Amino acid sequence: MNIRIQDIRIRNYRSLKEVDLILDECTMLVGKNNCGKSNIIQAIGLAFSFTSISKEDVYTSPEEPYNDERKVIIDVRIVPIDGKGIVQDTFSDVWTRAIGDSVSIDDQTDKEYFAFRTEIKYDRDREIYSNNKRKIDTWTNIGEPRIGSVIKRETIENIDNISINAQRDISLDIKDRKSVWGKLTSKIKVSDSVRGKIEHQLEKLNRKIISESDILKLIGKELRVTTADRQSKVDISPITKDIESLYRGMNIYYTNIGSSPTSVDNLGLGIRSWAVFSTVKAEILSRSKKAKNDEFAYHPLILVEEPEAHVHPQAQRQLYSDINGIVGQKIITTHSPYIISQVELDKIRYVRKDGPFTLAYPLLIDGLDFDDIRKIRRTVMNTRGEILYANAVILAEGETEEQAITVYLREYFKKEPFELGINVIGVGGNNYTPFMRILDRLNIKWYVFSDGETRPLDDLKKCLKLLRNLERTPELSDFDNVFYLNDGNCFETYCLEQGYIREIKKAICDVENDPNYINYFINQYNNQMGKGGVIRNYKGDEDGGVYRAIKDCMIADKTKYPTAIAEEICKTKIKSRRIPLKLKEMFSKIELDLKVGES
């Protein structure tokens, strides 16, 4: 690529009241459903086409009802780049010829750029929205740019705007002459001599088929009766007579070892969806080759919605790799954490709704160093990318809390956590900061549930100090979204102290499939050396010994029992005791923040 579409500014298109984006060679748009990702894709497509819109496409809100004087404006700035994507001082000769006198020079850097405005406004005389494009003489980050002359249609058409929507299907494209497949196959050319030979063979095949079919002979005879001119001739062509019709009957067949060919129509949506990208790649390669040979400007702009649609998780990674390998500038929307895990963080733009309008901004926060970015990528994006689509996230120390909190959430809200958009994440010790940074950046509510032991609490305070750039170590009570256990308790001892000994004992015995498992544990480990070199004593006093044995049993295999224990506690007859108090306190805060249950 010799150019890059660097800047896009969108005003008043659907939910995009005011959205500014800086684009890369491949830009990923992520965010929840109905946040405006597709609106961005379609607005960019409008900038590189001359199509119209309807009044429903113009931004409105309760405070700003529809007004036919409101204009949709999309500003675009394009810069020259080299093969490594580095911005250059001047455009190549090919692009200089294509852009002509529309090239501008940046006052600050002395580098060339080409900028234009798409203005879509209502024409009351014609009662339609007209799509007009004019040069931007001076691109500025402050105030309104200076608008110049009309842009030639040919200049814009040097940028090939290719949209691939989420409903793509190669079997439908084969039948659609306006699809990429249709455009590609319409270019098939053969010499006149080869055409004559093929059509002669087609004629012979048609005669042979009819001669072997009494039904076709009879139909032909009856069809002649329907003509007014008795001298006229009626032919039936079972397969087609000309080569163009033959192309229109083209199809794709897949064959596995030991099986007959299968038409693409009969394959799953995954393959039919994926195959569309192959035709796009072929079309771009064909046009790129022609552009190079004929020395004209050509820049593919590929707008892809949800490439993961109909494709299983493992294949999504390969599909993204294939898309990334297509020549051209890509802008992609996705909900797939498998795809996001492969994308450089600086290429991700987060899109969210704020009331009636859409906000879009880089995922990365300014000021992060290489190590910060590496931790976010490794800790968050590679394994927990689904949090980008959450309404709220609960951060806990480890897998024990993650398992248990999920069960208690279900009991408190009477819904699955995913129905509420709540994720529970075990951060693996004190590794809170990467999660907090991303969640803060995305304006996603987060909560911490921590053990009450000294070291975890000190580590948590350090994370919060770093996150907020504080000079002093904060008090945890300063944060209304941080919940921690008192008296040095870990989660296991807290549940015991809350009086759930009967439920915990039953859950452990059920998991071990032995109603006397605690007695077995006592007999097996009494008087043995335990943690810290302390000799275990489970028989000194009956009740206290059982208590200590259950505690040691839970801590010895922390990830084995938490789900079963939580499920057993949730069955307690006294409803008010079905959720431990500290968790109930946190859930109440979440309920208030998310306004769960409100219409």
**Angstrom distances, CA of residue 533 to CA of 258, 464, 527, 530, 536:** 66, 35, 11, 6, 9
* Residue of 315, 215, 325, 225 whose CA lies nearest to 268: 315
Distance, CA of 137 to CA of 87 (rounded, Å): 19
Distance, CA of 150 to CA of 251 (rounded, Å): 44
Strand partners, 162: 302
Answer yes or no: pTM beyond 0.85: yes
Element (H, E) at 97: helix 93-99
Domain ranges of the chain: 3-168+281-354, 179-250, 384-594
- Coil, strand, or helix at residue 485? coil
pLDDT at position 224: 66
Using a 10 angstrom Cβ sphere, with 0-12 exposed, 13-18 middle and 19 or more buried, the burial of residue 151 is buried
Phi and psi angles of residue 480, each rounded to the nearest 5 degrees, phi first: -80, 0
pLDDT at position 228: 52
pLDDT at position 264: 82
Distance, CA of 120 to CA of 450 (rounded, Å): 54
pLDDT at position 543: 65
Q: What residues contact residue 201 under an 8 Å CB cut-off, 6+ apart? A: none
- Coil, strand, or helix at residue 83? coil
Find tokens 């770093």 and name the residue. 466
Strand partners, 152: none
Q: What is the DSSP letter of 135?
A: E
Find tokens 């702009």 and name the residue. 301
Q: Which two tokens stand for residue 517?
A: 């498992």
Amino acid occupying residue 531:
K
DSSP assignment of 157-175 equals: HTEEEEEE-TT--HHHHTT
Q: What angle do CA 466, 403, 551 make, to 5 degrees?
A: 95
Amino acid occupying residue 507:
A
Per-residue pLDDT tens for 394-438?
999 989 999 999 999 999 999 999 999 999 999 988 899 999 999
Q: Which two tokens stand for residue 359?
A: 């906000």
277 with 285: CB under 8 angstroms?
no
Distance, CA of 74 to CA of 135 (rounded, Å): 12
Q: Which two tokens stand for residue 435?
A: 């999660």
Side-by-side strand order, sheet with 159-164: 159-164, 299-305, 329-334, 26-30, 348-354, 357-362
Per-residue pLDDT tens for 480-537?
999 999 989 999 899 999 999 999 999 999 999 999 999 999 999 998 887 778 888 8
3-168+281-354: CATH topology is: Rossmann fold (3.40.50)
pLDDT at position 599: 44
41 with 57: CB under 8 angstroms?
no
Q: Which two tokens stand for residue 235?
A: 């032919």
* Residue of 447, 451, 420 whose CA lies nearest to 436: 447
**Rounded to 5, what percent of the chain is helix, strand, coil?**
45, 20, 35
pLDDT per residue rounded down to tens, the chain (599 residues): 699 999 999 999 999 999 999 999 999 999 999 999 999 999 999 999 999 999 999 999 999 999 999 999 999 999 999 989 999 999 999 999 999 999 999 988 999 999 999 999 999 999 999 999 999 999 988 888 999 999 989 889 999 999 999 889 888 888 888 888 887 777 788 888 888 888 889 889 988 998 888 888 888 777 766 555 556 666 778 888 777 777 777 788 888 777 788 888 888 888 889 899 999 999 999 999 999 999 999 999 999 999 998 888 889 999 999 999 999 999 999 999 999 999 999 999 999 999 899 999 999 888 888 999 999 999 999 889 999 999 999 999 989 999 999 999 999 999 999 999 999 999 988 899 999 999 999 999 999 999 999 999 999 999 999 999 999 999 999 999 999 999 899 998 999 999 999 999 999 999 999 999 999 999 999 988 877 788 888 876 656 888 999 999 998 888 999 999 999 999 999 999 999 999 999 999 999 999 876 64
**First vs last C-alpha separation in the chain:** 50
Q: How many CA atoms lie within 13 A of 186 on its CB side?
A: 10
**Angstrom distances, CA of residue 286 to CA of 132, 183, 533:** 30, 11, 74
Distance, CA of 278 to CA of 236 (rounded, Å): 36
Element (H, E) at 300: strand 299-305
Taking the mean position of all CA atoms in its chain, how far away is CA 413? 28
Distance, CA of 563 to CA of 347 (rounded, Å): 38
The β-bridge relationship of strands 482-484 and 445-450 is: parallel
Buried b (16+ CB within 10 A) or exposed e, 177-209: eebbbbbbbeeeeeeeeeeeeeeeebeeebeee
